[in-house]
Amino acid sequence: MISFTEKRPFVIAGPCSAETEEQVLATARALAAQGKTDLFRAGIWKPRTRPNSFEGVGTEGLGWLRKVKAETGLRTTTEVANKLHVYEALKYGVDVLWIGARTTVNPFSVQEIADALEGVDIPVIVKNPINPDIGLWRGAVERLQKAGISRLAGLHRGFSSFGDSDYRNPPRWQMAIEFKRMMPDLPLFVDPSHICGRRDTLAAVAQQALDLNYDGMMLEVHPNPDEAWSDAKQQITPSQFGALVDGLKLPKISSNDPDFLASLSGLRQQIDEIDEEVLNLLCERMKLAESIGVYKRNNNIAILQPSRWNSLLEDAKKRGESRNLSTEFVTALLQAVHQESINKQENIIRK
């Protein structure tokens, strides 16, 4: 019986879309021969952003997945977005279902799938919604749990964003870490293909996820990636996939070595003490901001002083740089601190 924790990392690989029987079987044979794939993926119904793109081969492709399993022994998974997809996939013996990012955003669709799965013992992988809303992600998992699905995993495929980015779907690691904190028992996988949207950064993203203790990954693999009917830029050949997996370093989750544990706990204690000091200092800082708020109120002066804020931020960036703190970090920290000061002053002025 398939379990998402049977192996670490649990590796899912296969083409973005099932295109032809030959393409599906050629990919599966190459992957099976390497022995690095725990589950074979192929999209049968493809959610495309605009019409007139390839929308998947439909039910016919499920027969190809059945052949994959019969011939190579690889277990299979495909995306389902409605109850008809579920019924068809179950009829053809697909081993695992996944819910795509465009479906997780829609509670009606997720509930329809959950209802169709009531009483069916099949594992389901839930991708994060395209928008950065962990509540929807969690809600989708909960709907499936309520329908009695016990083998579930999350799949982090990044979030859509406006404007330029090096990623097709920026990972926003913090969101996935928070999701993991909320659902600590749910295995969490990464989908470097849809995060990166390109080949050259896949390995780095896969490694980053393992360093963050993820349980596995999904990678798009195609015998001839440049000719793929969907997501051509991000797919890799079976041999590139093999090299990528071989190059990953799997960190241990923990160690029982007493020296290691003693040094770790000493360092963590120091970190806790520093965090305590940082919070105390921030509290002092807010009190000063409140005193300034009183002056501003009494003299009818606006709370936000753009030139002061600008010089404060520029100074902090320079000071951060000389202390080896990244500009992004210092900016985000100062923005949060400044916003809290503004909130405090607003409370004073409204009193």
User: Which of ligand PEP, Mn ion, none does residue 180 bind to, with CB < 5 to 8 Å depending on kind?
Assistant: none
> Cis (ω within 30 of 0) for the bond into 225?
no
Binding mask 200-239 for Mn ion (x = CB under 5 A): -------------------------------x--------
Q: CA 285, CA 56: separation in Å to the nearest integer?
A: 58
Neighbours of 312 (CB within 10 A): 14
Nearest to ligand PEP of 100, 123 (CB atom): 100
Name residue, tokens 């749990």. Answer: 145
User: Which of ligand PEP, Mn ion, none does residue 101 bind to, with CB < 5 to 8 Å depending on kind?
Assistant: ligand PEP
Nearest to Mn ion of 234, 341 (CB atom): 234
Q: Is 222 in the site for ligand PEP (CB under 6 A)?
A: no
Q: Is 85 in the site for ligand PEP (CB under 6 A)?
A: no
Q: Is 74 in the site for Mn ion (CB under 5 A)?
A: no
User: Which of Mn ion, ligand PEP, none does residue 157 bind to, with CB < 5 to 8 Å depending on kind?
Assistant: ligand PEP
Farthest CA pair distance, the chain: 81
Question: What token pair was written down for 273?
Answer: 């003490």
Question: What token pair was written down for 302?
Answer: 């606006």
Q: Is 80 in the site for Mn ion (CB under 5 A)?
A: no
10-69: which residues touch Mn ion (CB under 5 A)?
16
Among residues 75, 143, 156, 157, the one that binds ligand PEP under rule CB under 6 A: 157
Identity at 260, one-letter amino acid code: F
Q: Is 65 in the site for ligand PEP (CB under 6 A)?
A: no
The CB-of-41 to ligand PEP minimum distance in angstroms stands at 7
Q: CA 103, CA 67: separation in Å to the nearest integer?
A: 27
- What are the strands, taking DSSP E only, across the chain? 10-14, 39-41, 76-79, 96-99, 124-127, 152-156, 188-190, 216-220
Q: How far is CA 300 from the centre of its chain?
A: 47
- Residue numbers at the binding site for ligand PEP (CB under 6 A): 16, 43, 47, 100-102, 127, 157, 194
- Residue numbers at the binding site for Mn ion (CB under 5 A): 16, 231
